[in-house]
Amino acid sequence: MVAQSIHGNSPGEIQNKLNQYLIEGFQPTLAIVFISIEQDTKAVAEMLHQKGIDVFGATSGGEFCNEHQSMGEIVILLLELDKSKYYISFEDVKGKDLADVSQKIARDALTQFDNPAFLLCSTTLTKEGEILNGEVLVENIEKIIGPDVTLFGGMAGDDGKFTGTYVFNHEKSTDDGIIAVILDKDKIDLHGMALSGWKKIGLARTITKSKGRLMYSIDNQPAVDMYLKYLGNENFLDKDKYKIFEAVGVHYPFQIQSENGESVMVTPMGINKDENALICEKELKEGSTLHFSEPPDFDIVETILQNASELKNEKQAAADALLIFSCIGRHTAMGPMAQEENEGLANIWKAPMAGFYTYGEFGRSPQGKRRMHSTTCSWVALKEK
């Protein structure tokens, strides 16, 4: 596998950089595209397709590659990889059951490869504000493939506007769907992890009433009132009160204790004003223990990079390419340290890198299971065997 990362502020700039690599003899077969919703996704996808390059695309909440970071631009990881070792799956979920679609992706993968691995991007929310349940996506792929499934990725962004997110290939685009690169794991090694660093604050509390993704009460107190008051936001203007994700949720998610003892980050996405309940990104179990949480200390970058170095050394691994899916909350909460984290990972793996700031991440924490995460930096290094 040969890889190159490029970035640009227009389809024309991307085309010029791509043409230069083609002149030099680089022959990419796959483009992993992270792009602002302000850019012309169709023009970029068609330009790549005309050059015989398969397209895997997602809109971003900010994008980066190698030592470049931007908001409103385009980054692409170009891979020269034999087409027998991967394929792209695109599924529009509109009007369909997400669990069924997720299982179909997994079953199709098993017809192509005995040992498939998944690079996934899903939409986060539609133009109408409907949220895709990333946890259901991961759980149903795992249900078919098994608990050791290799799966990394992120949920699409839209420059922090929260008006609609998209995934696309050269033929189709949707604000409610999934795109995946399915890799032959017998031919390609994947190593990665997802780490957060957000810290618990305050006492342990209990979810005393919930249904699905709605949280009604914490310690028998209204969840909406407690959450906003605890974080000093009880005086939100009413029009802002229902934009809780971008205002506070992305910085102050809950840490909820799972049945296996793992702390799972769960972000409030909004408020159902008719029910006076917090809308969370994942389904909640009544009686679960939770903590409020806050952004990490300055040493988080060192922790992320140390864990990456240890994994690389333990596996005696190398990389041809690196993908990073970093929560948009890391970007806003950590400032320049988020870029330092991304560039540090690229330096450890010494490989072309691309990534974007996400509205949710897919991956596995070091001691946990593969799941949808919040607030994490999820990364994966790829190496052809």
| Cβ pair 237, 278 in contact under 8 A | no
Among residues 263, 294, 325, the one where a domain terminates is 294
Q: Is 322 among the domain residues?
A: yes
Q: Are residues 176 and 215 in the same domain?
A: no
* Domain enclosing residue 242, as ranges: 210-294
Q: Are residues 331 and 182 in the same domain?
A: yes
pLDDT digits (tens, 9 = 90+) for 189-230: 999 999 988 899 999 999 999 999 999 999 999 999 899 888
Q: Is 200 among the domain residues?
A: no
Q: Are residues 325 and 371 in the same domain?
A: yes
Q: Are residues 88 and 36 in the same domain?
A: yes
24-35 burial code (b ≥16 CB/10 A, e <16): eeeebbbbbbbb
Q: Is 205 among the domain residues?
A: no
Percent of the chain with pLDDT over 90: 77
pLDDT digits (tens, 9 = 90+) for 124-175: 999 998 999 999 999 999 999 999 999 999 999 999 898 999 999 999 999 9
Instruction: Over range 37-55, report the average pLDDT.
Output: 97
Instruction: Over range 223-245, report the average pLDDT.
Output: 70
Q: Is 229 among the domain residues?
A: yes
Q: Are residues 265 and 365 in the same domain?
A: no
Q: Are residues 281 and 342 in the same domain?
A: no
Q: Are residues 153 and 22 in the same domain?
A: yes
- How many structural domains compose the chain? 2
Q: Are residues 160 and 11 in the same domain?
A: yes
pLDDT digits (tens, 9 = 90+) for 85-111: 999 999 999 999 999 999 999 999 999
Among residues 294, 319, 336, the one where a domain terminates is 294
Among residues 254, 272, 294, the one where a domain terminates is 294
| pTM of the predicted structure, to 2 decimals | 0.91
| Cβ pair 6, 16 in contact under 8 A | no
For residue 98, give both structure tokens: 């997400």
Q: Is 334 among the domain residues?
A: yes
Q: Are residues 289 and 159 in the same domain?
A: no
Q: How far apart are the first and last CA of the chain?
A: 9
**The pLDDT value given to residue 241:** 53
Which residues have C-beta within 8 Å of that of residue 178, sequence separation ≥ 6? 89, 90, 91, 93, 101, 102, 105, 120, 121, 122, 123, 137, 167
**The pLDDT value given to residue 379:** 98
Q: Are residues 305 and 283 in the same domain?
A: no
